[in-house]
């Protein structure tokens, strides 16, 4: 048996066995939270950071409560996700070559079943979304060029606007927040290195719950891992100059492009990086770091 497949199957087995012993739901099951309402708006930015412009949603959406974990991503590997062309964008497939697992898959600091998967490129995150959609007989949201179809029933990465709405508001009856949990910074609410916190690696998803959660129950929106969004990076001025519903900026998934990452990670030492409005980090879709993962959404 291919050693990569064997590793993935072992990881799934260990995760499910641990969950059964603990009397909780399967570690491979993805929990979602429904957010927003048609026509709800919020200010993207918090007065100090961001474009500080009103944006609106045309629909509610569901977002995974946690970043995708190693146990959940292991199913994609075990099912041949790295070998099936139809899950990948054209640029993603060309980039992938012989890659058959995330960059830190065998690193003991990052490969516990309930830790967020790290070392995944934007291309790998998109392929996972398309794979999961087909697993559940849904229409994949991404085309071969990496553009998301909002009318599709399948899974995708959150847009930058959806991500910030989830972190800073989440519902029509909520006041906007500076941090996912509220307006007062507390390093104990995030997996990070802002003093006096001393994170040495990622932690199990939800390890700062419930105190670090949003009022709707989303965990790890600040800290643990930076999270890929579906958009190409834009400056504050570009967003402020052309506000609109369902703000989504996509030019291409070329390796030369910059894709948005939000949320801060376990290595960050600066407090502002954990604000819901912080948007000064992006990366090419090919990059795979020990600080970045993803969560998923669908409508």
Number of domains in the chain: 1
User: How many percent of the chain have pLDDT more than 70?
Assistant: 91
Of 113, 274, 275, 111, nearest to 201 (Cα)? 111
34 strand-pairing partners: 62
CATH for 265: 3.90.1580.10
Q: Which pLDDT score is estimated for 270? A: 95
DSSP string, 145-171: TS-B-TTSSS-BPPPHHHHHHHHHT-S
Identify the pLDDT of residue 17: 42
For 68, 244, 269, 279, the CA distances from 190, given in Å and listed in that order, are: 17, 31, 11, 17
Q: What is the pLDDT of residue 26?
A: 57
The whole domain housing 81 covers 3-298
Q: What is the mean pLDDT of the chain?
A: 92
Confidence check: pLDDT of 22 > 60: no
């Amino acid at each position: 048996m291919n050693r990569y497949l064997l590793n993935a199957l072992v990881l799934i087995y260990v995760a499910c066995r641990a969950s059964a012993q603990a009397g909780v739901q399967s570690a491979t099951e993805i929990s979602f939270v429904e957010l927003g309402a048609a026509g709800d708006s919020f200010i993207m930015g918090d007065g100090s950071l961001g474009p500080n412009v009103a944006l609106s949603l045309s629909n509610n959406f569901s977002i995974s409560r946690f970043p995708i974990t190693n146990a959940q991503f292991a199913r994609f590997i075990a099912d041949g996700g790295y070998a099936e062309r139809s899950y990948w964008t054209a640029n993603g497939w060309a980039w992938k070559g012989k890659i058959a697992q995330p960059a830190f898959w065998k690193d003991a600091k990052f490969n516990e079943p309930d830790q967020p998967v790290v070392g995944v490129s934007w291309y790998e995150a998109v392929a996972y979304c398309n794979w999961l959609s087909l697993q559940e007989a849904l229409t994949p949201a991404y085309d071969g060029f990496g553009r998301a179809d909002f009318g599709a029933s399948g899974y995708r990465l959150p847009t930058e606007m959806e991500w910030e709405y989830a972190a800073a508001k989440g519902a029509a009856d909520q006041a906007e927040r500076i941090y996912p949990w509220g307006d007062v910074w507390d390093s104990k609410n995030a997996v990070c290195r802002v003093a006096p916190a001393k994170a040495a690696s990622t932690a199990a998803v939800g390890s700062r719950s419930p105190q670090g959660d949003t009022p709707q129950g989303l965990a790890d929106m600040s800290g643990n891992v930076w999270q890929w969004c579906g958009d190409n990076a834009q400056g504050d001025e570009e967003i402020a100059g052309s506000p609109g519903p369902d703000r989504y900026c996509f030019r291409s998934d070329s390796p030369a492009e910059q894709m948005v990452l939000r949320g801060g990670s376990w290595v960050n030492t600066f407090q502002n990086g954990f604000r819901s409005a912080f948007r000064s980090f992006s990366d090419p879709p090919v990059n795979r770091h020990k600080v970045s993962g993803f969560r998923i959404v669908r409508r």
